């Protein structure tokens, strides 16, 4: 089972790119489709790779058979010493807020004037 038939073919792909990133055979590449959306395409013929692999399908968040984020977070981080969890944030060790006070970083920054590249740790 791979994502081309099971996700892209059913119109469920959200273009996250995880499938292409994890494919051990480099058979998937993310490209624009005819509607201007990112979708994976097969690069080298995946005719039967899904029978032996299906990794792309397992990591894909766009079909209904995936675990939810809380389950995945619990499995990966639930036993970490000092871990905290809330429904709003998921699992975390600590949380910080900051911004750059250099030049016009804050005024020109994206994502709510957060830290642009290189700003973390600047004083
Ligand atoms: S089934 Fe495996 S080899 Fe085939 S495209 Fe998906 S991740 Fe790659
Ligand atoms: S992992 Fe799923 S949603 Fe993400 S790009 Fe691949 S097919 Fe689309």
pLDDT of residue 116: 43
Average pLDDT along the chain, 123 residues, taken 10 residues at a time: 90 93 91 93 72 86 81 90 92 89 80 46 45
For residue 15, which ligand has an atom nearest its CA?
2
User: What number does the ligand 1 atom closest to the CA of 26 have?
Assistant: 8
**What is the CA(2)–ligand 1 centre distance, in A?**
6
Question: Where are the chain's structural domains?
Answer: 3-59, 67-107
Dist CA 48 CA 1 (whole Å): 8
**What is the CA(71)–ligand 1 centre distance, in A?**
24
pLDDT of residue 103: 85
Q: Which of 34, 24, 28, 37 is nearest to 6 (CA)?
A: 28
Q: Which residues line ligand 2 (CB under 6 A)?
A: 3, 7-8, 13-19, 40, 60-62
pLDDT of residue 111: 58
Which letter, b or e, does each residue of 76-108 get, where b requires 16 or more Cβ atoms within 10 Å of its Cβ? Answer: eeeeeeeeeeeeeeebeeeeeeeebeeeebbee
pLDDT of residue 17: 94
pLDDT of residue 114: 46
Q: What is the pTM of this model?
A: 0.61
CATH for 3-59 is 3.30.70
For residue 1, which ligand has an atom nearest its CA?
1
Q: Which residues line ligand 1 (CB under 6 A)?
A: 2, 23, 25, 27-28, 46, 49-50, 53-56
User: What number does the ligand 2 atom closest to the CA of 14 have?
Assistant: 3
pLDDT of residue 46: 58
pLDDT of residue 28: 93
pLDDT of residue 104: 85
């Amino acid at each position: 089972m791979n994502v081309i038939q099971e996700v892209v073919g059913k119109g469920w792909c959200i273009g996250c790119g995880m499938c292409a990133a994890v494919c051990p055979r480099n058979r998937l590449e993310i490209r624009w489709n005819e509607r201007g959306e990112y979708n994976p395409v097969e690069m080298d013929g995946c005719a039967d790779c899904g029978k032996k692999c299906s990794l792309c399908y397992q990591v894909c968040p766009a079909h209904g058979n995936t675990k939810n984020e809380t389950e995945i977070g619990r499995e990966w981080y639930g036993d970490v010493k000092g871990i905290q969890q809330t429904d709003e944030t998921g699992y975390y060790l600590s949380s910080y807020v900051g911004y750059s006070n250099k030049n016009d970083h804050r005024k020109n920054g994206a994502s709510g004037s957060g830290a642009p590249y290189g700003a973390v740790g600047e004083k």
